[in-house]
Structure 1
């Protein structure tokens, strides 16, 4: 009998949470898309990345500096110090926020798929399929 790896168990648990999230009433629900949380102009343009927990979710915000220069503040979680990117034009700042959010969403979905594939339910289904082929 082999001992299971605790990492596999943790990943399976996280995958089950991601696959079947249980959100308490009145709490913030993760969205499938991150619409901008800001005015139409660049200053204040904000997007929030995917994830089940606000403490590890990325957030990007555009702010205007001097001389019509714009900066993107990239944060992880709600209370972290931002990484400041810039200066750049308003259009470049908005494009950067959109690209970063899109890349984060793609990475999140890839990790989510990998975790689901490693879950005990996925392994059981694979075992059943293999047994049927034998």
Structure 2
């Protein structure tokens, strides 16, 4: 890979922008903040008292009690009454991706520094327009088939994202040792 690749330069610029530390905004002045309004909580809704079920009194006879209590079967609900034969499976039709207009945008904090790949159709053949930022002249790749154009866009976007993450990690790893070195007051 050549060292003066414009993609690498652009991704390095994007990574440096992301790496810049910003000072957190100071606390807002009281004059800047509108007076806070106190909202009353909604009125409490009274719930009906909970009912407590009490077991029946013990029998007074000398007959043995059944070992397990019997429960009456609950009536099946409407949902349980539906037989499996009545349920029809819904077949989802997989729509192929429309190549014309298929587009992906590369990583970056600002639109002016992002790559964009867009597929367009011309005479039954597909071309990929690769632009850097808004309003730049596209670099055209093609002609190719629809599936190849979509794969081309996906591959370029994945490659750009991977290189962007690599540059970002490289900058972080360089910044970490630099932050550990003590500075003299004369250095600024």
User: What is the TM-score of this pair, normalised by structure 2?
Assistant: 0.46
After superposition, the C-alpha distances for 1:28-71 in whole angstroms (9 at most, x for unaligned) are xxxxxxxxxxx9300000000001221121000000110x2000
Match status 1:114 vs 2:170: yes
Structure number with greater Rg is: 2
Aligned mate of 2:17, from 3, 14, 17 = 14
Q: Match of 1:95, SS?
A: helix
Cα 1:94–1:53 change in 2 (3 A) is same
1-structure distance, mates of 2:16, 2:99: 39
Indicate yes or no: 2:154 matched with 1:98: yes
Unaligned runs of 5+ in 2: 1-12, 25-95, 183-188
Post-superposition shift, 1:117? 1.2
- May I ask how many residue pairs the two structures share in their alignment? 98
| Matching of residues 1-134 of structure 1 within 5 Å | 14=17, 16-17=19-20, 40-66=97-123, 68-119=124-175, 121-125=176-180
Q: TM-score, normalised by structure 1?
A: 0.63
Which ranges of 4 or more aligned residues in structure 1 deviate by more than 2 Å?
Answer: 12-17, 121-125
* RMSD between aligned residues: 3.0
Q: 1:15 to 1:64 in 2, by over 3 A?
A: closer
TM-superposition CA deviations, 1:64-114 (whole Å, max 9, x none): 110x20000000001101011000000000000000000000000000001
Write the distance in 2 (CA, Å) between the matches of 1:54 and 1:115: 21
